[in-house]
Amino acid sequence: MVSFIFKESLRGIRKKPLSFLLSTFAFGLCLLIILIFFLLTYNLFISLKIAYDKIEIYAFLDEKTSFSEIKDKISLINGVEEIRYISKDEALKILKEELKEEASFLENLDRNPLPPSLRIRISPKAKQVDEIKRIEDKLRLIPGIKDVWAGEELISKLVKVLNNIIYIDIGILIVVALSVIFIIFQNIEQSLFNRQREIEIMQLVGATDYFIKAPFYLEGILEGVLGGIFSFILLFIIYRIMSLSAITLSFPTILLLIFTILIGAFLGGIGSNLALNRILK
């Protein structure tokens, strides 16, 4: 049964090898666009995730205020997870480390201008613009805290960028998916046309719908999978070339390969389905 379906499917492909090959290539090239956006989005997410995880609220203290005095008050605020005290000396040390060679001008200071500060880590749940704003307002009310920097504008920008990128991805996914489905649709339509006689005979002798349609589904899915593998190979080549020019992207090989094959098979199946539904009532 399976061998019959396979044989009939291959027979259909062998009747038009060139158009099968070319449409598989076209399919692969279209899919490559999806893959490139997928890869870029994936990498962007990784770097944004790193930035996001680092989010802390900075509270700058009065020089006279002692940490132990206000620590408990801050801990009481909902969403605060950990408080670290940075003394004036530590702040200077951190600044020196960050500036590296350019830090030499700091040597000439006669007085440390940096205030003592607190770095407040907040729970993941509280990492939302509104929540951070709420925590920030509460911090400002605590005597001894001169200034607070929470960077919620930065976070809201990040979220906006992320949302826009997801919208762009979805838009591209839809447009490319439609073109890719159309490629398969046309190919299967041609196969159906080439094999009218076979279909007619099968219907007359009492073959089930499943037997009649399966070779065409198989062809579409096969084309999708082959096109997917082709696009994966192209993506890999592009990735290696970019690595040579020192653009380091993370490349989740297995994830990408599975994603490509699944999406290829899925879109191929849909294309076949549309053609079959249109032509075989």
Partner 1 sequence: MIEFDNVSKTYQNKWTALNNVSFTVERGEFLFITGPTGAGKTTILKIIYAEELPTAGKVIVNNKNIATIKKKEISLYRRNIGIIFQDFKLLYDRTVYENLEFVLKAINMKGNEIREKIMRILTRLGLMHKKDCYPYQLSGGEQQKVAIARALVKDPEIILADEPTGNIDEEASKEIINIFKEINLMGTTVVMATHHSELPQLLKKRRLHIVQGKIVDG
Distance (Å, whole) CA 131 – CA 125: 9
| Segment lying near partner 1 (by CB under 8 A), choices 157-165, 178-186, 204-212, 253-261 | 204-212
User: Contacting partner 1 (CB under 8 A), which of 91, 106, 172, 207?
Assistant: 207
| Segment lying near partner 1 (by CB under 8 A), choices 70-78, 87-95, 174-182, 195-203 | 195-203
User: Contacting partner 1 (CB under 8 A), which of 202, 225, 267, 276?
Assistant: 202
> What is each CA distance from 165 to 128, 159, 168, 252, in whole angstroms?
19, 10, 5, 19
User: Contacting partner 1 (CB under 8 A), which of 111, 197, 248, 254?
Assistant: 197
Nearer to partner 1, 12 or 79 (CB): 12
Positive or negative: CA dihedral 127, 129, 134, 140: positive
Q: Does 53 bind partner 1 (CB under 8 A)?
A: no
Positive or negative: CA dihedral 185, 190, 195, 196: positive
- Are residues 213 and 7 in contact, defined by beta-carbon separation less than 8 angstroms? no
- Are residues 129 and 155 in contact, defined by beta-carbon separation less than 8 angstroms? yes
Phi, psi of 60 (to 5 degrees): -95, 135
Q: Does 141 bind partner 1 (CB under 8 A)?
A: no
Q: Per CB under 8 A, which of residues 211..230 are in contact with partner 1?
A: 211-212
- Shortest Å distance, C-beta 11 to partner 1: 8
Q: Does 270 bind partner 1 (CB under 8 A)?
A: no
> What is each CA distance from 103 to 12, 100, 227, in whole angstroms?
73, 6, 55
Q: Does 204 bind partner 1 (CB under 8 A)?
A: yes
Nearer to partner 1, 22 or 280 (CB): 280
**Residue spans of beta strands (DSSP E) within the chain:** 56-61, 80-86, 117-122, 145-149
Q: Does 143 bind partner 1 (CB under 8 A)?
A: no
- Shortest Å distance, C-beta 216 to partner 1: 14
Residue ranges that bind partner 1, judged by CB under 8 A: 1, 4, 197-198, 200-209, 211-212
